[in-house]
Chain A
Amino acid sequence: MKLDIPADVRQTQQVALRLRPGLLRLIFRIPWWFVVLSLVGISVIGLVRGSPIYQNIFGQLQAGVVLTLSVSFAAYVSALLIGLIVGLIRANPPEIGYGPVGIAVSVIRLILYNVATLYVQVLRGLPILVTLLIVAFVIVPEVNRVMRDTFDINLGLRGSSPTSAVIALSFTYGAFLSETIRAGIQSVGRGQVEAARSLGMNYVQVTRYIVLPQAVRRVLPPLGNDMIAMIKDSSLVAILGIQDITQLAKLSSSSSFRYLETYLLAAMIYLTMTVLGSAIVRLMERLFPVDR
């Protein structure tokens, strides 16, 4: 029985078979997006080395790289910790216990679960910018004031500092990451948990040795996604006048009026960081594969 192949498909098939199969496979495997991006990057590097204008701007912008990376890194690590704790709480909704100890534990779990859910809903619901401004201009000054008035301790915390940004970013991303991690935890089959329990493992052991290793492997792609998103959201510190790449780009371009050159360079710097970041994430996915 002859298959009814449309004429144009058959033509392509015939052409394709004429090329050596190895070459065809090569064309399809090369990451052309990366080739294009690298070519753009190389030409930008050429521009920077060749032109004093570009060199000047680059010199101004690269001073912000350390700050961008450190804010992103600190915020992400904190967000991961928060996300792990909150995700675990949310993955185990409270159940009614028996006996005095059981009821006490249930009440604690009920409180924790509701606090965690409230946290996730609120922090996911606020724009990061608003959260940042609230942390910088409401929460930090209040903390300073309370410490000064009640305990006589002069904390002298600065509201518009990278620390406020790290706090705002880590709490916001913590909310998002907690949901991701919760999804990962819940994706691990019940059967495994029940089997482990029947072997005598307690909850901590089951989580630590059975559930988490699988859960984290499964959600590595979205976790990596958020790490890259964090690098971009670190640019919000510019609102508070902190001199990261974006702020330096704004300062430079507003006095030189060279918006094209400045933002082209700023974009390339961010892209370099984020593309490298996603390459690292893919490497980790290879190193910690999901067992199927």
Chain B
Amino acid sequence: MRSRSILVLILVAALVLPTALFAQEATPEATDESATAGASIPPALAELAAGEIELPDLEGRDVTIAVENAYLPFNFIHPETNEGIGWDYDALNELGARLNFTPVYVTTSWDSMIVATSQGEFDMAADGITITEERDEVVDFSVGYIRLAQVLLTRSGEDRFASTDDFAADESLILGTQPGTTNYDLSVELVGADRVQAYETFPVAVQALLIGDVDAVLMDNVASQGYIGAEAGALQIVGEPLTSEELGFIFPEGSELTESINAGLASMAADGTLDLLFEKWFVEFDPSTLTNAGEAEATAEADA
């Protein structure tokens, strides 16, 4: 199981290098009962959902959507079927049904995603992209669809630090993350660029954490749940959730799709579909059940 997951991580890392950049700030709000593991519907979207929603009909056109396929649980490759799955796929397929468009998923690298979208190479991109002012200058964002927090992912049994302050204070500790992400920006803010090692994709960073090259990985809380599940007890979260922001889909500037997608998201928020998706991918999702070996282990544990 261990070597298999290492192999999966290496193949994911080798085949799909760039990964999404996520960074979210904010203490999770208790907007509704469902335990969404720190993910919540942002106020702007909640407002839209409460008002009148008009769903445009996009007449079945193709919408090219850039994804990275290396960011649990938003978009990643199912280890057995080799298909792309994740929150983004479910959400966008649902939006395609409501707005009458055909999603065409294109795998690309995180590094180039924002710039390529700004130049119109894709109709939109989905990779848990944090809404920031800098990015807003080159692309258009949809309304934020999630608010999450950033957390420190560490190896189980870590006793050298118990909070981010401890981590920052100990000069010998190194933080892993991904370049071009708000996680990276926050990491540099926390410990300075010399103590940050920015790996090509988050799976590679997590692998580095597991082999002891870095002492923690700064990532979004929902993504961390995915890795904790995949690594069966080897990882844990240390410290309080840090800053969080909202994630959004990106579009080329001036795109007409933005308003349509916003309406679609509002309707999904209004009838509870969004909450169901949060529940499915951020609470119930257990990556180990995706492989037959993992599933057998899980059922064996359940039976025992």
Contacts and interface: CB of A to CB of B under 8 A. Distances in A.
Given A137-B6, A160-B208, A254-B180, A238 B200 contact: yes
Contacts of A197: none
A138 B134 contact: no
A34 interface: no
Interface in A135-152: 137-138, 140-141, 144
Nearest to B111: A250
B3 to A, nearest CB: 9
Interface stretch (B9-17, B64-72, B157-165, B292-300): B9-17
Given A130-B14, A239-B199, A239-B200, A158 B180 contact: no
Nearest to A242: B197
Contacts of B21: 254
B225 to A, nearest CB: 23
A250 B179 contact: yes
Contact of B197 (A133, A137, A156, A241): A241
B199 A254 contact: no
A65 interface: no
Contacts of B176: 241
A159 B13 CA distance: 15
Nearest to B182: A255
Interface string B177-221: 001100011000000000001111000110110011110000000
A160 B213 CA distance: 6
Interface string A244-261: 000100110011010100
Contacts of B115: 257, 259
Contacts of B198: 241, 247, 251
Contacts of A133: 10, 13-14, 204
Contacts of A254: 21, 111, 179-180
B140 to A, nearest CB: 15
A77 interface: no
Interface in B136-162: 137-138
A239 B213 contact: no
A239 B111 contact: no
A159 B211 contact: yes
Given A160-B199, A239-B199, A255 B213 contact: no
B295 to A, nearest CB: 25
Interface in A109-165: 129-130, 133-134, 137-138, 140-141, 144, 156, 158-161
Interface in A98-115: none
A159 B251 CA distance: 38
Nearest to A129: B14
A242 B137 CA distance: 29
B235 to A, nearest CB: 16
Nearest to A137: B207
Contacts of B204: 133, 137, 160, 239-240
A129 B201 CA distance: 14
Contacts of A129: 14
A251 B180 contact: yes
Contacts of A130: 14
B252 to A, nearest CB: 14
A266 to B, nearest CB: 13
A160 B176 CA distance: 11
B200 A137 contact: no
A12 B219 CA distance: 69
A239 B17 contact: yes
Given A158-B213, A250-B111, A255 B180 contact: yes
Contacts of A257: 114-115, 134-135, 137-138
Interface string B7-29: 00110011001000100000000
Contact of B211 (A140, A239, A250, A259): A140
Identify which of A144, A158, A160, A238 gathers the most chain B CB atoms within 10 Å of its CB.
Answer: A160
Contacts of B197: 160, 240-242
Contacts of B14: 129-130, 133
Interface in B42-90: none
- Interface centre among A134, A158, A251, A254, by most chain B C-beta atoms within 10 angstroms, is A254
B211 A241 contact: no
A239 B111 CA distance: 12
Given A129-B14, A158-B213, A239-B204, A250 B180 contact: yes
Contacts of A138: 6, 10
A130 B17 CA distance: 12
A242 B197 CA distance: 7
A191 to B, nearest CB: 49
Give the one of B21, B176, B213 with max A CB within 10 A: B213
Interface of A: 129-130, 133-134, 137-138, 140-141, 144, 156, 158-161, 238-242, 247, 250-251, 254-255, 257, 259
Q: Which 5 A-B pairs have the closest CB atoms?
A: A254-B180, A241-B197, A141-B211, A241-B199, A239-B200
17 contacts: A133-B13, A137-B6, A137-B204, A138-B10, A141-B211, A141-B212, A158-B212, A159-B208, A159-B211, A159-B213, A161-B213, A240-B199, A240-B204, A241-B205, A251-B180, A257-B114, A257-B134
Given A130-B14, A160-B208, A240-B197, 16 more contacts: A129-B14, A137-B204, A137-B208, A138-B6, A138-B10, A159-B213, A160-B213, A238-B200, A239-B199, A239-B204, A241-B198, A241-B205, A242-B197, A247-B198, A255-B185, A257-B135
